[in-house]
Amino acid sequence: MDNIQIQTTQNVDIEYEVASIGDRILATLLDYLFFLGYILLLFLIVKLAPSVNSINQIILLIGILPVIFYDLLCETFMEGRSFGKMIMKIKVVKVDGTQANFGAYLIRWLFRIIDTRLFMGGLALITIMLNGKGQRLGDMAAGTTVIKLKQKVKLSDTILSAVKPEYHIVFNEVQRLSDNDISIIKEVIEMSRRTNNSEAIKKLSAKTKEVMQVSSDLPDHKFLITVLEDYTHYNFDK
């Protein structure tokens, strides 16, 4: 399975698993099932509507618009996911680590005509296989990719860490950190366990101290673990 490194706002690279071709195909097939159900419902409405050709044509014209703009609307309002992607637990993200915006979704939607419609998905399949970053032409133009989200959520997957009730906060300055900062710290720690990337830990530790405005003689990894525990206790005690 291919992985992609995305740089966070704290200049630390985090590795994500790229959605497989199978996941993307299944997500698309699920979306087509939604299309089919919607179209059948639309024709049922037209059939039950007054038998006036002009009215029926207007209903069909308006009703078909959600199908045409389906991917654009879903990804815009569902944070990079369609209903099929949601079921398969995959989503569109920017390769520079930022949340994809409407412009990126629009470019992906426009290129979909070439990627999947004109060539029946063949061009998209070949491009994704050769690209190495899970990108079809639309993704390359928009600067996006599709990643796989975690299947199960445990305490270790959240921004919180387990701490003992009698725990005492070491750094009260953790209140200067945001939930996003803590989430990044947890992801980098988990990544370092898998890849033994001490440089990422060192960079993140220095950045965290800068944001918190503290100094510490603790080893970088121990310092970040302490920050997680402090943040958890600080929020649980509120």
Residue 10 pLDDT exceeds 60: no
Closest by Cα among 151, 141, 33 to 88: 151
CB 106 within 8 A of CB 114: no
Judged by phi (left if over 0) then psi (alpha if -120 to 50, else beta), residue 99 lies in: beta
Structure token pair of residue 129: 């296989």
- Residue 155 contacts by C-beta under 8 Å, 6 or more apart in sequence? 161, 162
> How many CA atoms, within 13 angstroms, populate the side-chain half-sphere of residue 176?
11
CB 205 within 8 A of CB 223: yes
Each residue's pLDDT tens digit, 196-222: 778 888 888 999 999 999 999 999 989
Q: For residue 91, list its beta bridge partners.
A: 147
CA 41 – CA 34 distance, rounded (Å): 11
Q: What stretch of H or E contains 125? A: helix 122-131
CB 91 within 8 A of CB 149: yes
Each residue's pLDDT tens digit, 150-171: 644 444 444 445 556 667 888 9
Each residue's pLDDT tens digit, 47-78: 776 666 677 777 778 888 888 999 999 999 99
Q: Is 102 exposed, middle or buried (0-12, 13-18, 19+ CB in 10 A)?
A: exposed
CB 141 within 8 A of CB 107: yes
Each residue's pLDDT tens digit, 85-97: 999 999 998 887 6
DSSP summary character for residue 6: E
Quickly list DSSP for 27-56. Answer: HHHHHHHHHHHHHHHHHHHHHHS-S-HHHH
Closest by Cα among 145, 137, 171, 174 to 159: 174
CB 94 within 8 A of CB 143: yes
pLDDT at 152: 44
Q: What is the pTM of this model?
A: 0.62
pLDDT at 80: 92
Place of tokens 């990894």: 221
pLDDT over 90, % of the chain? 33
